[in-house]
Structure 1
Amino acid sequence: MTSILVTGSSRGIGAATRTLLAERGAGVIGHATSASDGTTVAADFASPAAPQMLWEEALDRAGGAIDVLVNNAGLFDANPLDSSDIEWLDKWEETLRINLTAAAQLSRFAVRHWLERGVTGRIVHVASRAAYRGDSPAHWHYAAAKGGMVAMHKSIARAYAAQGILSFAVAPGFTDTAMAGDYLASRGGEELLRDIPLGRVAQPEEIARIIAFCALDAPESMTGAVIDANGASYVR
């Protein structure tokens, strides 16, 4: 059985991914910021120690071997330009820690785990259209974090392909989650949808299908790829 750690699995894309992977027969260990149960580990990525704690607990629950890491956890919180200096900086650093640094820590633990055991492994990074197109004036930090995630993903793919350690990234546009819903409402809702040729935002299950493909089915030669899923709102 393939053992998979999925971060941010309590809702939205992460929850849909967790469900689909379990249906495919994988052993899935979930993650949430606070809630913990028999299949979910609680870890608040605002704390620098949390990713290591999550990795070690997940490894223990998986019987000492994790085959796939899905870096999905994220924070999407507006940071207006006219905030106070300390508020602006705090939100910037929090967003980078949760969206990028925690994913980097977990990726490091995963790569070391596979190298030490001499086995193959896969990482799937859930990035964003914002990594390429940028985002709103209140979301510099979010776009920067996702751009950093894509650069990290490409570096991992290039560095460890020869050892059978593969890295994939998915770059969704707007997805029908609570997080994106709040943003759509704040940016005009239907007005913003006109920028999406498909005429609608993605469903979490659509993105989950791409993640599951990368985690279980994608051929080795696809390592390093970034898969766009944005309804043609940004075509590279």
Structure 2
Amino acid sequence: MTTHILITGASRGIGAAIAEALTADATKIVALSSADGDLADPAAPGTLWQTSLDRLDGRIDVLINNAGIFEANPVDADDADWLAGWERTMQVNLTASALFCRRAVQHWHGRQSGGRIVNIASRAAYRGDSPAHWHYAASKAGMVAMTKTIARGYAKDGILAFAICPGFTMTGMADEYLASRGGDKLLADIPLGRVAMPDEVGEMARWCALDAPASMTGAVLDVNGASYVR
């Protein structure tokens, strides 16, 4: 049977690599991008879920939450600006993902075949991030905790959940960060000597979406060149 997959944040970088990795299998994919809807709008995930469900003939088997933003929010910013930056990142990175996960769990609850969630989090969930990115690290830590909670709560229903925590990956966000921090210093912190490539994360997501054994539910997989081990 063809596996129906919904991917958010799929226009470029890791999301595009995930979509490409999955197209070689017996899949039907809806790959959402910012052009489909603004996840900063709390109403967008519900609308996009229903639209995607319609495009996938009323059945979604796998949800991959990849959409996210990485925006600096300096601690000495104006109070209102700092709070707005915090709330925007939380809405896009965590709350929107939670709303998609909620729809998925409701869709699969009681369905004999269950379903799979793959959440793309970050090394920052465990290691933290820069002083200007408290909100980013917190949003990704929340995503990991949410993944584990879903896994524990719904495994009995065949609903599996996995999280992937990339370190620096060669995407637009990483390019900006490398330029601002000094690439040589950053690379010196990665024992592998290079940042991850999107296709490496894409393959991990493909495996979690289609092939990972059910007993792995709740697992958090790292892909950071041993820059953070736990």
Counterpart amino acid of 2:188? R
Return the alpha-carbon distance in structure 1 between the equivalents of residues 183 and 80 of structure 2: 31
1:149 aligns with 2:143: yes
Return the alpha-carbon distance in structure 2 between the equivalents of residues 121 and 170 of structure 1: 17
Unaligned stretches of 5+ in structure 2? Answer: none
Deviating above 4 A after TM superposition, structure 1's stretches of 4 or more consecutive aligned residues are none
Counterpart amino acid of 2:90? L
Secondary structure class of the residue paired with 1:32: coil
Counterpart amino acid of 1:22? T
Return the alpha-carbon distance in structure 2 between the equivalents of residues 59 and 117 of structure 1: 15
Counterpart amino acid of 1:14? G
Q: Using structure 1 for the length normalisation, give the TM-score.
A: 0.96
Shift of 1:121: 0.1
- 1:77-96 CA deviation, whole Å, 9 max, x = no partner? 01011111111111100000
**Counterpart for residue 221 of structure 2:** 227
Counterpart amino acid of 1:200? R
**Counterpart for residue 97 of structure 1:** 91
**Counterpart for residue 63 of structure 1:** 57
**Counterpart for residue 16 of structure 2:** 15
**Counterpart for residue 172 of structure 1:** 166
Return the alpha-carbon distance in structure 1 between the equivalents of residues 124 and 67 of structure 2: 16
Match of 2:183 among 181, 184, 189: 189
Q: Does structure 1 conserve the Cα–Cα contact (< 8 Å) formed by 2:110 and 2:157?
A: no
**Counterpart for residue 31 of structure 1:** 32
Return the alpha-carbon distance in structure 1 between the equivalents of residues 4 and 208 of structure 2: 14
Shift of 1:111: 0.4
Counterpart amino acid of 2:27? A
Counterpart amino acid of 2:55? R
Shift of 1:25: 2.4
Identity among equivalent pairs (%) = 61
- 1:49-87 CA deviation, whole Å, 9 max, x = no partner? 000011000000000000000000000001011111111
**Counterpart for residue 6 of structure 1:** 7
Return the alpha-carbon distance in structure 2 between the equivalents of residues 25 and 120 of structure 1: 18
**Counterpart for residue 156 of structure 2:** 162
Q: Using structure 2 for the length normalisation, give the TM-score.
A: 0.98
How many residues matched?
229
Return the alpha-carbon distance in structure 2 between the equivalents of residues 123 and 59 of structure 1: 15
**Counterpart for residue 212 of structure 1:** 206
Match of 2:128 among 130, 134, 140: 134
Shift of 1:196: 0.3
Unaligned stretches of 5+ in structure 1? Answer: 35-41
Return the alpha-carbon distance in structure 1 between the equivalents of residues 10 and 207 of structure 2: 17
**Counterpart for residue 38 of structure 1:** none
Return the alpha-carbon distance in structure 2 between the equivalents of residues 78 and 222 of structure 1: 34
RMSD: 0.7
Return the alpha-carbon distance in structure 1 between the equivalents of residues 142 and 178 of structure 2: 24
Secondary structure class of the residue paired with 2:194: coil
Secondary structure class of the residue paired with 1:47: coil
Q: Does structure 1 conserve the Cα–Cα contact (< 8 Å) formed by 2:112 and 2:158?
A: no
Return the alpha-carbon distance in structure 2 between the equivalents of residues 182 and 173 of structure 1: 14
Shift of 1:116: 4.6
1:81 aligns with 2:81: no
Return the alpha-carbon distance in structure 2 between the equivalents of residues 79 and 175 of structure 1: 21
Counterpart amino acid of 1:4? I
